[in-house]
Structure 1
Amino acid sequence: MLLDQLPTGQRAEIAAIDWSVLPSDEGKRLRALGVDEGASVSIRHRGIFFGRDPIALSIGRMTVAIRRAHARAITLREPKFGAEAAE
């Protein structure tokens, strides 16, 4: 599932990011904000404009606004809980 398809409030883990589709300066900014593989994220809310931009992304204790185009470059997996996380 891509990040822009994640239902609001549901938590997921970033599995991969296609950095090649993002301008390098924007990729650096996202990494500096903690948007990288393995990070746990959820969508707090979506914008009201056409295309529902921007997306308010909760990552750690921060809320970061990202463009929908950036969210389409991020692939998710469901987070591991309990004993599965220790493996």
Structure 2
Amino acid sequence: MLILTRKPGESLYLGDNIKLKILNIQGKQIKIGLDVPDDMTVYREEVYLKIKEQNRQALESSQQDLLAAATLWLEKESK
């Protein structure tokens, strides 16, 4: 992990088109401004992790559904 020190009002760039600016520090909270391309999605970590888990569950369900369908198809073919 890269660790950088920035003061309020200072910025840093990620590549050519992502700018992070420290807006304010108050107690244990830091307010960050992000300039990102319009087509880039930004998630808070807890939302991102929830989406990943839901996608994993959906994939697992899809695989189970496919196996069930294949079993039914094989049963139908053997009759």
Larger helix share, 1 or 2: 2
Q: Same fold (TM over 0.5)?
A: no
Smaller-chain TM-score range?
0.3 to 0.5
- Give the structure-2-normalised TM-score: 0.34
- Give the structure-1-normalised TM-score: 0.31
